[in-house]
């Protein structure tokens, strides 16, 4: 399926509103609005270019992820001269975590521009961060590195990057719990168990056992999320012990 010839007609009311909305978000005018349209195309829209190649935000998301990582790395390298490679890597991971990118996408309300055949209410949380990364990729293609850096500085670094706060931010409670268990030579297990909840959406239930004792339980829409949620509960249950070790 090819794009209709008038789909990106800048004179149409719909695309005029899109252009104005994106300009407000970027802080500057796009040169090629087609690139930004791609940044909001979900694969379910089933769009293709004139050569028959699929058109959706996923390739731009890949590019944006790389640009975001590069620009954040440069910022940390300049701002934290005493930080070693391990410290800088950890700090960058906190800034570009999926949770944080989802927050950025929500703050900019990017989902309002997504074109999809799937109702937006059915999207998972990650759609917000995915589209944010695609937007960064579109900026790079449309305007180059300097504009990309400017956008990330104004929309990510200035409002959200506080080195001292980030140092204390936990990225993964599961990693924290596992590290503590290994340090204390304690056995641990994440076990999925039967759950008879009434939710229409499938949920996974996980028990976290440490040293043979069940410390926490949690439910979520994926096993990974349930494990992280159980780990967070375990962390707060064992915080005094963990902080002293």
Cα-only R_g, the chain = 22
The phi, psi pair for 207, rounded to 5°, reads -110, 135
Residues annotated catalytic, as ranges = 65, 133
β-pairing, 47-48 with 54-55? Answer: antiparallel
Q: Are strands 213-220 and 204-210 parallel, antiparallel or unpaired?
A: antiparallel
Q: Specify whether the CB–CB gap between 91 and 83 falls below 8 A.
A: yes
Spell out the SS3 assignment of 97-110. CHHHHHHHHHHCCH
Closest CA to 101 of 79, 134, 75: 134
Angstrom distance (rounded) from CA 13 to CA 111: 19
The dihedrals phi and psi of 206, each to the nearest 5 degrees, come to -130, 135
């Amino acid at each position: 399926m090819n794009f209709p010839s008038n789909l990106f007609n800048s004179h149409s009311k719909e695309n005029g509103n899109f252009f104005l909305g994106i300009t407000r978000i970027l802080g500057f005018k796009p040169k090629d609005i087609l690139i930004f349209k791609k940044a909001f195309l979900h694969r379910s829209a089933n769009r293709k270019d004139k050569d028959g190649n699929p058109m959706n935000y996923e390739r731009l998301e890949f590019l944006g992820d790389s640009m975001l990582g590069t620009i954040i790395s440069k910022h940390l390298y300049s701002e934290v001269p005493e930080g070693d490679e391990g410290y800088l890597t950890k700090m960058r991971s906190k800034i570009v975590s999926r949770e944080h990118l989802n927050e950025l996408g929500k703050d900019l309300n990017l989902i309002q521009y997504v074109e999809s055949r799937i109702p937006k209410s059915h999207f998972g949380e990650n759609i917000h961060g995915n589209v944010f990364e695609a937007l960064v990729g579109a900026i790079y293609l449309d305007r180059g590195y300097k504009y990309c850096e400017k956008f990330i500085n104004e929309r990510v670094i200035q409002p959200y990057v506080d080195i001292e706060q980030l140092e204390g931010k936990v990225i993964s409670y599961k990693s924290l719990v596992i590290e503590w268990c290994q340090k204390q030579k304690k056995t641990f297990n994440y076990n999925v168990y039967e759950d008879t909840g009434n939710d229409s959406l499938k949920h996974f239930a996980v028990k976290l056992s440490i040293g043979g004792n069940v410390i926490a339980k949690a439910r979520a829409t994926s096993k990974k999320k349930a494990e992280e949620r159980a780990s967070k509960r375990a962390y707060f249950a064992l915080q005094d012990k963990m902080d002293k070790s």
